Amino acid sequence: MDYLKGLNEPQYEAVTTLHGPLMVLAGAGSGKTRVLTMRIAHLITNGIDPFNILALTFTNKAAKEMKLRIAKVVGEGNAKSLWMGTFHSVFARILRSEAHYLGFPSNFTIYDTQDSLNVLKKVLKDLNIDQELYKPKKVQARISSYKNNLITVRAYQNNPELIEADERANMKYIGKIYEKYVEQCFRNGAMDFDDLLLRTNELLTRFPEVLARYQDRFRYILVDEYQDTNHSQYLIVKALSSKFENICVVGDDAQSIYSFRGANIYNILNFKKDYPDAKTVSLEQNYRSTQNIVNAANVVIARNKEQFKKNVFSDNEVGDKIKVFRALSDADEANFVANNIWEQHNANQRKFTDFAILYRTNSQTRAFEDALRRKNIPYRVYGGLSFYQRKEIKDLVAYLRLLVNENDSEALLRVINYPTRGIGETTQNKLIVFADSQNVSLANVLDNLGIYAPHLGFNNGVISKLADFWSMIKAFQVMLKTENVYTVAMEVAQRSGLIKFLKDDQTPEGISRVENVQELMNSMQGFIEEQQQLEDGDPSLSSFLENIALSTDQDKKSENEDQVSLMTIHLSKGLEFPVVHLVGLEENLFPSFMSSSTREELEEERRLFYVALTRAEKQVFFSYAVSRFQWGKITDAEPSRFLSEVDEEYIEFLNPVVESRFVNKSGLSSDIFGDNFSEPRFFKKAEKKKLPSSDEPKPLPKNLKPVASAKIINPSGNSSQDIEVGDRVRHDRFGVGEVVFLDGTDPENIKAKVKFVTEGEKNLILKFAKLTKI
DNA sequence: CGCGAAGCTTTTCGA
DNA sequence: AAGCTTCGCG
């Protein structure tokens, strides 16, 4: 039992407590993954059949990795029958084999958010509902939250309170829309993400024999990231574990960041109420980060009301202080980060993989990509518009979905006239109306075109176009029976005209679309080969489609490449990096303007900040910009309140503290570089110095009103007289250099080209550059 | 019916 | 800025 060596006391306890309910509160960096893997290994070495173990993880990648680590301890043969994966993938598989109970085909389609939105829009159109009043996205969110809380259509209709609430919100047709949407999905033989959980609940409650079967199979259940489970997931776990009660949940309430998709922090906060006999183990020693980082994170998270008492600590070195950089713009911020990474890469011999750039929103990515590319720094962006969400990929995938499940009308309508083949909107609408009136699927109408044609009022041209399209699909289906999936997909891409259509577009975007399709084909081939090698692999098309529907970007993280990682904070959960750049620390961005109105929302944003901070092992850089190009225009920004929540003792400012706190916002274009929200307002140290008389609580950044004139923006800045071409100057950040060029006559706006020894040439606006003559 | 231009809206996080 | 919808013409 070598694997038990080196565990600390609580870790040991968590690993060796095999029976009964157990809650492991694992602080950030406390060796949670290790405990989980060792615990499973320990179960197996103690004679528990791996077949009886179910482990639910947050990403499929985490599952894969943990399985590998377990295999190292107990041997591959033993680890194989272990069931490990995300809620969605595990229960999608179970639903496939039990689909007949629910009246679904076993090859049901899985709709992603976009697909489901498309279906919803069609429903709204069908019902003649004004999409201005019923914004599809809002409706979708509402339905999603019903599903996550197990409010089925029937439950909704029997609940006057809900109906009333929707009426008050001027959404009295929600119930009707909900009903239609569910009907449509059912008819399409499709489940959305929420259905995968909701239908599992339905399966387990309506069919006790099924529940008994899975209860008996999954005698030991482990749930990772329990703080981010929603009610639906909670009920599944509860139902499955209620017979043996060998349930181990692992989580950290301080890292609950998914309430927007229904995660319920009370699942973990109330675990003890659900299982009064539950044992609790707290892992409090952080092995990941320096003391400075851990302490800073603790101070911030302590502001949240709702939480377990924990004392996370680190025995590592004290470490560097967190460095804070104030940038002039988003581009400036990105340059700072890129420079910093470049310097550290050279000076400290850090690999690029050691760095992560974490941000709140995906739209922040671009500036960093530009800056990194300019410096030739290799990077990889995770998340964002994921590969499988690209239009060209979705189009090809829609064809494939249609082959597997021809009732999937969403897929059918997506491809019936793409590439265009003369089956326009009018024709499509006639088809839809007719199919509805006969209560059959679109596929059924196309199957029996000969019989239905007289009732459809199509001319011969349209009929033959429809027949051609459908016989093409049928031919693909026949091919699928004998040929390998890759071959069929290739045939689809070519015969449908998709490839040709894409190739006709020779713009850079068009070329990249063709490449993307190629990449999809490659990944398909890879998938098939991999599945063929696995003993229990499934190289079928529907298996491939399920795989991509549930794949996360993290899942395909490429190893062995020395690249800087760019991702949202949400995606970074569970990862760690030696150096973390947490960027865009501005009010309305982080915390997000969408989540700043209630205490609960703000606390979740704060937990997000905590997650970001605790990703770092050695060093953290905070940065924010005072102006940012956003939504098509330049917007002023104010430092995030979270900056002021970190005690000054853990922080070091890279920019000099600026004398003036004020700037004139009226008139001058240079206002965007204003220092009006510089540190003195927000940090105790500076405040004590500059505002000795002020005992008032710090104002929220929102309320700040800039006053005074632009003249005193930067007393330490340079006027035109000070600096001349040929002068040797020092810059706080770029070091020593020589002025090679001056440009402009307006003293407010003189630009200086300075050649720095280490940094090369920079174009600076003299007024702000704070150059010192030497 | 198909295409492109014009106009309009909408901005978080993601299985 | 980007995505989506609408509109008008060939």
pLDDT in tens, A184-201: 999 999 999 999 999 999
Residue A735: the pLDDT is 64
Q: Tell me whether residue A574 is annotated as binding.
A: no
Please tell me the distance from the alpha carbon of residue A13 to that of residue A21, in angstroms, as a whole number.
Answer: 13
Three-class SS of residue A525? helix
Q: How many CA atoms lie within 13 A of A285 on its CB side?
A: 9
Residue A40: the pLDDT is 95
Strands A379-381, A564-568: pairing is parallel
Distances (CA, A) of A59 to A23, A66, A489, A554, A609: 20, 11, 28, 7, 21
Q: Tell me whether residue A26 is annotated as binding.
A: yes
Among 3.40.50.2000, 3.10.20.600, 3.40.50.300, 3.10.450.50, name the CATH number for the domain at A313-378+558-653.
3.40.50.300
The amino acid sitting at A341 is I
Closest CA to A643 of A706, A598, A685: A685
Three-class SS of residue A25? strand
Which residue is nearest nucleotide B3, judged by alpha carbon to C1' distance?
A420
Distances (CA, A) of A479 to A75, A476, A499, A720, A743: 40, 5, 19, 76, 69
Residue A476: the pLDDT is 96
Which residue is nearest nucleotide B9, judged by alpha carbon to C1' distance?
A132
Measured N-to-C along each axis, helices A449-456 and A460-482 cross at an angle, to the nearest 10 degrees, of: 150
Distance in Å from the first CA to the final CA of chain A:
66
Nucleotide nearest to A92 (CA to C1'): B15
Three-class SS of residue A713? coil
Query: How buried is residue A650: exposed, middle or buried, by Cβ count under 10 Å (0-12/13-18/19+)?
Result: buried
Nucleotide nearest to A131 (CA to C1'): C5
Distances (CA, A) of A627 to A613, A673, A674, A677: 23, 7, 9, 11
Q: Is the CB of A423 under 7 A from strand B?
A: yes
Catalytic entry in A98, A115, A194, A224:
A224
Residue A764: the pLDDT is 63
Q: Is the CB of A106 under 7 A from strand B?
A: no
Dump pLDDT digits (tens) for A278-299. 999 999 999 999 999 999 999 9
Please tell me the distance from the alpha carbon of residue A580 to that of residue A565, in angstroms, as a whole number.
Answer: 10
Q: What CATH code is assigned to A109-188?
A: 1.10.10
Distances (CA, A) of A358 to A397, A539, A604, A611: 31, 36, 17, 10
The separation between CA A740 and the C-alpha centre of its own chain, rounded to angstroms, equals 46
Widest Cα–Cα separation across chain A: 92
Which residue is nearest nucleotide B12, judged by alpha carbon to C1' distance?
A361
The first and second tokens of residue A206, run together, are: 């309506």
Q: Mark whether A33 is an active-site residue.
A: yes
Catalytic entry in A615, A628, A641, A767:
A615
Please, which contacts does A482-491 make with residues 24 or more away whose CB atoms are closer than 8 Å?
A: A484/A528, A484/A539, A485/A524, A485/A528, A485/A539, A485/A540, A485/A541, A485/A544, A486/A521, A486/A524, A486/A525, A486/A528, A488/A403, A488/A541, A489/A396, A489/A400, A489/A521, A489/A524, A489/A541, A490/A521
Q: Mark whether A619 is an active-site residue.
A: no
Q: Mark whether A225 is an active-site residue.
A: yes
Q: Mark whether A291 is an active-site residue.
A: no
Regions of chain A where pLDDT drops below 70: 1, 553-559, 657-722, 731-735, 743-751, 756-770
> What is the total residue count of chain A?
774
Distance A747 CA to B14 C1' (A): 49
Q: What is the dihedral angle through the alpha carbons of A559, A564, A567, A569, rounded to the nearest 10 degrees?
A: 100
Name the class of domain A389-504. Answer: mainly alpha
Residue A12: the pLDDT is 96
Q: Is the CB of A511 under 7 A from strand B?
A: no
Q: Is the CB of A595 under 7 A from strand B?
A: yes
3-state secondary structure A528-595: HHHHHHCCCCCCCHHHHHHHHHCCCHHHHCCCCCCCEEEEEHHHHCCCCEEEEEECCCECEECCEHHH
Reading phi first (left if > 0) and then psi (alpha if -120 to 50, else beta), residue A376 is in: left
Q: Tell me whether residue A461 is annotated as binding.
A: no
Distance A232 CA to B15 C1' (A): 13
Q: Tell me whether residue A28 is annotated as binding.
A: yes
Nucleotide nearest to A604 (CA to C1'): B13
Q: Tell me whether residue A33 is annotated as binding.
A: yes
Residue A747: the pLDDT is 55
The amino acid sitting at A127 is L
Catalytic entry in A16, A17, A33, A635:
A33
Question: Count of CB atoms within 10 A of residue A722's CB?
Answer: 13
Q: Is the CB of A457 under 7 A from strand B?
A: no
Q: How many CA atoms lie within 13 A of A106 on its CB side?
A: 7
Please tell me the distance from the alpha carbon of residue A104 to that of residue A110, in angstroms, as a whole number.
Answer: 12
Q: Is the CB of A260 under 7 A from strand B?
A: yes
Say which residues have a Cβ less than 8 Å from residue A409's Cβ, sequence separation at least 6. Answer: A184, A187, A188, A441, A442, A443
Three-class SS of residue A88? helix
Catalytic entry in A192, A194, A225, A395:
A225
Distance A469 CA to B13 C1' (A): 40
Distance A740 CA to C2 C1' (A): 40
Please tell me the distance from the alpha carbon of residue A670 to that of residue A724, in angstroms, as a whole number.
Answer: 22
Q: What CATH code is assigned to A9-100+200-283?
A: 3.40.50.300
